[in-house]
């Protein structure tokens, strides 16, 4: 399998930022996830070819870090933090609420929603917290967690944006977020414009909004989409 011309252009742009091309292996794995929806053997072989590593070396990186997914996660991956601060403040109840509302047990996924427990996500001051497609929401209660899952099922947002999640479903935060974030995630991988995994969230902040018809990955530097 060969990546699209647009994806290869993104990959080469990222490789050019590093003194050695092998150093680009981790961002290229995210590009592979976006291309195929998950990490496939063909995708990892493509990363190996681009970085000059062996497929086994690429697979060793992909299998070490939990962010890289070799199984389909649905359109929305909900990762509930279960580390000590979140655990003490009710993370188990939040996780159970997510599982119940989604009808998906932790560690599994249907076509729309994947559910998992996650180790510390760096939001101890806003515990309990979770990520949706790696976008953060803090101060989540079981009730709000259920509302969030219902929103994902019904509104089917094309872009998941942390500011929007916090506005609609969050509570106490670790600290005030100083800068409004316009970008959001377009799939179950971190939103980062150079990877083609982010898009602008331009819709109103309301639970009933419909999917965006014009959400496109943020363009490469220099104007290429």
Side by side, the strands of the sheet bearing 108-109 are 108-109, 113-118, 76-81, 130-132, 135-137
The answer to whether residue 51 is domain-embedded is yes
99 and 180, same domain (yes or no): yes
pLDDT in tens, 138-193: 999 999 999 999 999 999 999 999 999 999 999 999 988 777 878 899 999 999 88
For 199-205, the CB contacts below 8 A with 24+ separation are 199/158, 199/159, 200/159, 201/159, 201/161, 201/163, 201/164, 203/157, 203/159, 205/163, 205/164, 205/167, 205/168
CB 26 within 8 A of CB 61: yes
pLDDT of residue 196: 86
Among 36, 64, 92, the domain-final residue is 64
DSSP code, position 85: H
Work out how many domains the chain is built from and give that number: 2
> Does residue 25 sit within a domain?
yes
- What are the beta bridge partners of residue 118? 81
The whole domain housing 12 covers: 5-64
- 102 and 49 part of one domain: no
Q: 49 with 91, same domain? A: no
**Cβ neighbours for 62, distance < 8 A, ≥ 6 positions apart:** 29, 39, 44, 68, 70
Give 157 or 2, the one with higher predicted confidence. 157
pTM, 2 dp: 0.86
The reported pLDDT for the residue numbered 135 is 96
**Residues 39 and 104 occupy one common structural domain:** no
Is 193 inside any structural domain?
A: yes
- Return the closest-CA partner of residue 195 out of 18, 19, 32, 2: 32
pLDDT given for residue 207 in this prediction: 47
pLDDT at 221 over 60: no
Burial class (CB in 10 A: 0-12, 13-18, 19+), 81: buried
Confidence band of 134 (pLDDT split at 50, 70, 90): very high
C-alpha–C-alpha distance, residues 3 and 19, integer Å: 23
48 pLDDT exceeds 70?
yes
112 and 24 within one domain: no
pLDDT level of residue 211 (50, 70, 90 thresholds): very low
- Residue 142: inside a domain: yes
84 and 52 inside one domain: no
**What tokens appear for 158 in the block?**
């094309």
């Amino acid at each position: 399998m060969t990546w699209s011309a647009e994806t290869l252009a993104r990959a080469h742009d990222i490789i050019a930022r590093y003194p050695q091309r092998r150093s680009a292996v981790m961002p290229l794995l995210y590009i592979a996830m976006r291309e195929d929806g998950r990490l496939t053997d063909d995708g990892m072989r493509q990363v190996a070819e681009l970085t000059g590593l062996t497929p086994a070396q690429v697979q060793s990186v992909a299998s070490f870090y939990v962010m890289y997914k070799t199984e389909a996660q649905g359109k929305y991956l909900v990762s509930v933090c279960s580390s000590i601060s979140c655990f003490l403040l009710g993370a188990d109840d939040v996780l159970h609420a997510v599982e119940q509302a989604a009808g998906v047990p932790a560690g599994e996924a249907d076509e729309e929603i994947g559910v998992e427990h996650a180790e510390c996500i760096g939001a101890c001051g806003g515990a309990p917290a979770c990520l949706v497609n790696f976008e953060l929401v803090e101060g989540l209660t079981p009730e709000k967690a259920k509302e969030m899952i219902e929103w994902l099922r019904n509104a089917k947002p094309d872009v998941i944006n942390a500011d929007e999640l916090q506005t609609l479903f969050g509570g106490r935060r670790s600290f005030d977020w100083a800068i409004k974030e316009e970008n959001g995630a377009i799939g179950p991988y971190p939103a980062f414009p150079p990877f083609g995994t982010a898009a602008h969230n331009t819709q109103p902040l309301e639970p009933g909004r419909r999917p965006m018809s014009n959400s496109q990955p943020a363009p490469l530097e220099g104007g290429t989409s």
